[in-house]
A and B are shown apart, each in its own frame.
Chain A
Amino acid sequence: MKTDLEVTPQIPEEILQRVEARGISRRDFIKFCTATTAALALPITMLPQVARAVEDKRPPVIWVEYQSCSGDSEAFLRANQPTAGEIILDLLDIEYAEVIMAAAGHQAEKSKHDAMEKYKGQYILIVEGSIPTGADGGYCTIGGQSAVEDCKKLVQNAAATIAVGSCATFGGIPAAAPNPTDAKSVSELVPGAAIVNLPGCPVNTENLTATIVYFLTFGKLPAVDRLGRPQFGYGKRIHDNCERRSHFDAGQYAESFGDPGHRQGHCLYKLGCKGPETFHNCPTIRYNEGTSWPVMAGHGCIGCSEPGFWDTMSPFYRRLPKVPGFGIEDTADKIGIGLAAATAVAFGIHGVASCFRKGDAMEEDKVVKED
């Protein structure tokens, strides 16, 4: 196993010295760069590039919230490598973020406006929450301005936009049927813009830091699937990386919450797990510094990184109608049929969503019969 020390020589000494001069410990910096390189699935030989990218740029960031629950902002506060404190003080120049910023009211709006002007075409925009387009913008205003106008302007002037969480990426819960406010995702609102989608409810903060560093390292956004999700975080199905996969293959299932199979970590498929239809790296990076993730804690995946999951993956405790025998090499792009495609269609079209739910109910009958 490589230790930090063995890796150290790869980061040029002058970078480490500059970092140290800014009050950041050498060890923490190396740990962060190593973890990020791994999260990005880059070879460790890329470490110097990653280090150089994060060293002293502090790229300007504007973090806005629209129809959000602030869950993604909170997830950001739980960041570990680096911590939120390090990100705020050392890595990014967070010009605007409502949850943490000291200023309020017109002083806050000034920060946003000034950053947009001063760093036009250079800043990273992070959007949390969907954007309601109904009621002439009256469903969400900030400083008297509609979320629709605010978001459009900020996206158009950004170097790149990162949509975090399921609402900003795919409309999320406000866009669930019947989408009362005509909520839209960022890419629906501003089609064609450079946007990377980091769905999840909330976003896994490690995927966020990895995306930022990728951008800094390579000067472009990471490779994405057809839903705009980075391949490094969403390229594989949960089911294929699941720690309980061997129990699925062996036919060992938890039949009820709390039964002996459940207590022994058997597969949660029969309790409604949506891992077989969900592309996300939860099983490998987990949450809260790798402490746990839903399947590990005994509850099935609810599919929160898939578009329209509130409609297509629910009822959450009903088992998936059919788990096709996809090979491990399949990605969301290749699976043109099944839930992934249906969700893409249902997304934004309310009628389709409810039809789909009806069709699903028939599948449920089949499952009951199997029992």
Chain B
Amino acid sequence: MAKRIAVDPITRIEGHLRIEAQIDGGKIVDAWSSSTAFRGIETILKGRDPRDAHHFTQRFCGVCTTVHSMASIRAVEDALNIQIPDNARLIRNLIMGIQNVQDHVIHFYHLHALDWVDIVSALSADPAATAKLAQSISNWPLSSVTYFKGVQDKVAAFAGTGRLGPFQNAYWGHSAYKLPPEANLMAVAHYLEALEWQKDVIKIHAILGSKNPHPQTFLVGGMAIPVDPNSQNAINADKIAYIRKLLRKARAFVEQVYIPDLLAVAPFYLDWAGIGGGVGNYLSYGDFPMDNSPGTGSLFFPRGVIMGKDLANVMEMDEKKITEYVTHSWYNYSKGDDKGLHPYEGETSNNYTGPKPPYEFLDTDGKYSWVKSPRYLDQPMEVGPLARVLVAYASGVKEVVDTVNFVLGKLNAPATALFSTLGRTAARGVDALLLAQKNEIWLDQLTDNMGRGTLEVFNKEKWDPATWPKEAQGFGYHEAPRGALGHFIRIENQKIANYQAVVPSTWNAGPRDAAGQMGPYESSLIGTPIADPENPLEILRTIHSFDPCLACAVHVMDGKGTEIVKVRVL
């Protein structure tokens, strides 16, 4: 007998996500992904100064803060053909790099771990066994019996109050938890350590960007944080030293805690290397320019597309092949909701036709989400660390190939194991490790520039809107922690005429398209075993493996539903 369930809210994510699923014979046979909140920021952007756009777009998301500023200033710079100084490239790389590393660690320990780690079981662990386990996988110094005993006592004292706060009503004791108590205790200790670590390493954003979340030194044409070894009000030798200390702290934790934990936990869940694969198509815009040449040739993570899990064939990414559908989204297209439109020709009028709240289930035969359905060559695409790593791996980027092979070797798994829930989680670790290592190279380059007296951070040539053409349009890309992010801007008479963003969680969380093809979340849930429909822990595992970020995904335009905007490709 099939059973329909709804999981709403999906917690430990950014934003408002609802999953409905049909369960039959202990497995998911059908699934629907719905975003249940809408803000309309792209509408709000119309008519404003394009140089201000990044402040607005950054507020798409406060978890992957910075990413929509990056894509926005790149879009304006692309439209106005602005070259940024080398120091600005390096400062941006450092901000993006540490964002990815910090965000991935938070995801692994604070958003994803409780899907795999049973905190209650940690209470029955033998601290000595935990210490032995920890010491066998890493040189991380916090690994003594006393240390783990202390953590266990603290958690026991907390549990003893009978008020479990954020840990109540959860899935403790669920049959899908497989870790032995000592591994659970180690993970709980690292959950708490990571909570401390993340607030420290992200001070790099405060140093370079004034604060985190929502750093404030991005500029169209460069960065607002000055660089000058002879000033106390700029990035100087002291601040470089401080950043270096934090980068080392970041790398040490990734190398000595995150990656060893990932490799230690994964063997208990190897069945998840065969679950949650999803659409099998992967898209990466590429990012992290290694020099200041124009174009995408120097990107550390290359740009590319993989179709049908075919790692032997990485296709060139052409943004003209992107379309968006609203067949099952709460919007209307003027020529019918079954047509896909390129973002440049995007038209959006929101029209909520869902059930009047409160409701029990959505009408999934009709429209059922605030997220549109982006497609590439009319195919659903997965984006994210897995897509980024796969494109780089299949393109033969040596460091990526070596790191992926190292992880696969440790798990004794073939490359095809990556097309899965576990693969997604492992690829995020690979991504964090590579960027944690790269960050220090960018800091070295910035230091070299300063030493040579190269202090420019901002190209003011096109700052004055009077220098702009009457019309311009541009594409800003970024590989955010959650994947391929694209902003599309059209500027007319010095103002924003149209703004469109196609973001990672739009790609991943989108509903079905006109052809009925499921989006990546939906597709990845099919076949997932559900031991207990009342406690659908397994759904959380696969959905969290994408690291959903729903406020990002829904911000499309025109709340009044009156305006239709057409943009041509230049």
Contacts and interface: CB of A to CB of B under 8 A. Distances in A.
B213 interface: yes
A263 B231 contact: yes
Contact of A181 (B40, B225, B231): B40
Given A144-B360, A264-B233, A202 B62 contact: yes
A265 B224 CA distance: 12
Residue of B65, B106, B208, B558 with highest tally of chain A CB at under 10 A: B65
B195 A101 contact: no
B106 A77 contact: yes
Interface stretch (A29-37, A41-49, A292-300): A292-300
A177 interface: yes
B153 interface: yes
Contact residue range for chain B? 35 or more
Interface in B94-124: 106, 110-111, 114, 119
A284 B233 CA distance: 16
B199 A79 contact: yes
Contacts of A302: 55, 216
A68 B551 contact: yes
Contacts of A201: 59, 214
B532 to A, nearest CB: 12
Contact of A287 (B7, B52, B111, B212): B212
Interface string B351-390: 0101011111000000000000000000000000000000
Given A70-B14, A137-B357, A77 B195 contact: yes
B168 A103 contact: yes
Contacts of B551: 68-70
Contact of A314 (B49, B224, B358): B49
B61 A297 contact: no
Contacts of A134: 559
A251 to B, nearest CB: 17
Given A263-B228, A287-B211, A103 B560 contact: no
Interface in A253-308: 256-258, 262-265, 286-289, 291-299, 302
A286 to B, nearest CB: 8
Contacts of A85: 192, 195-196
B198 interface: yes
Chain B's interface: helix, strand, loop or mixed, by majority? loop
A5 B293 CA distance: 57
Interface in A171-212: 172-174, 176-181, 183, 201-202
Interface in A7-48: 21-23
Given A78-B202, A180-B43, A181-B38, A102 B357 contact: no
Helix, strand, loop or mixed for chain A's interface? loop
A174 B357 contact: no
Interface residues of A, number: 98
B195 A292 contact: no
Nearest to A316: B52
A136 interface: yes
Of the candidates B208, B209, B330, the one having the most CB atoms from chain A within 10 angstroms of its own CB is B209
Given A74-B212, A177-B44, A263-B226, 12 more contacts: A23-B150, A78-B202, A95-B166, A140-B36, A180-B40, A258-B455, A264-B228, A297-B206, A297-B216, A298-B224, A298-B234, A316-B55
Interface of B: 6-16, 36-41, 43-44, 48-49, 51-52, 55-56, 59-63, 65, 106, 110-111, 114, 119, 150, 153-154, 157-158, 161, 163, 165-171, 192, 195-196, 198-199, 202-203, 205-214, 216-217, 219, 222-228, 231-234, 330, 350, 352, 354, 356-360, 455-458, 460, 463, 535-536, 540, 551, 558-560
